[in-house]
Amino acid sequence: MKLYHELATWWPLLSAPADYAEEAELYWRIISQYKPDIEDALELGSGGGNNAFHLKKKCRFILTDISPEMIRVSRELNPDCEHFVGDMRGIGLNRQFDLVFIHDAIMFITTEEDLEKVFRTARKHLKPGGLLFIAPDFFKETFRPSTSHGGHDDGHRSIRYLEWTHDADPADNLFETEYAYLLRGRRKISSPFQARGFVAGQGAKNAHSPATQVMSNAVQRQKIGIKWGSYSSPGPKGRGRAHKMCIRPGGRGPFFEENLGSFAAEGGV
Ligand X SMILES: C[S@@+](CC[C@H](N)C(=O)[O-])C[C@H]1O[C@@H](n2cnc3c(N)ncnc32)[C@H](O)[C@@H]1O
Q: Which residues are near ligand X by CB under 6 A?
A: 4, 20, 44-51, 65-67, 70, 87-89, 103-105, 108
Residue 61: closest CA among 27, 16, 34: 27
Q: Of the two residues 65 and 257, which places its CB atom closer to ligand X in the complex?
A: 65
User: Closest separation between CB of residue 1 and ligand X, Å?
Assistant: 7
Answer for the pair 243, 232: CB distance below 8 angstroms, yes or no. Answer: yes
| Local structure of 213: helix, strand or coil | strand
Residue nearest ligand X, Cβ-based: 47
User: Closest separation between CB of residue 48 and ligand X, Å?
Assistant: 4
Task: Work out whether the CA dihedral 98, 142, 16, 191 comes out positive or negative.
Answer: positive
* Chain-centre distance for alpha carbon 73: 11
* CA 92 to each of CA 98, 183, 238: distance values in angstroms, whole numbers, following the listed order: 16, 37, 57
Query: In what helix (H) or strand (E) does residue 11 lie, and over which residues does it extend?
Result: helix 11-14
Cα separation of 264 and 214, whole Å?
Answer: 9
Q: Of the two residues 66 and 245, which places its CB atom closer to ligand X in the complex?
A: 66
Q: Of the two residues 14 and 189, which places its CB atom closer to ligand X in the complex?
A: 14
| Local structure of 121: helix, strand or coil | helix
Answer for the pair 163, 129: CB distance below 8 angstroms, yes or no. Answer: no
Q: Of the two residues 83 and 243, which places its CB atom closer to ligand X in the complex?
A: 83
User: Closest separation between CB of residue 163 and ligand X, Å?
Assistant: 11
Q: Of the two residues 17 and 201, which places its CB atom closer to ligand X in the complex?
A: 17
User: Closest separation between CB of residue 50 and ligand X, Å?
Assistant: 3
User: Closest separation between CB of residue 45 and ligand X, Å?
Assistant: 3
Q: Enter the DSSP assignment of 156.
A: S
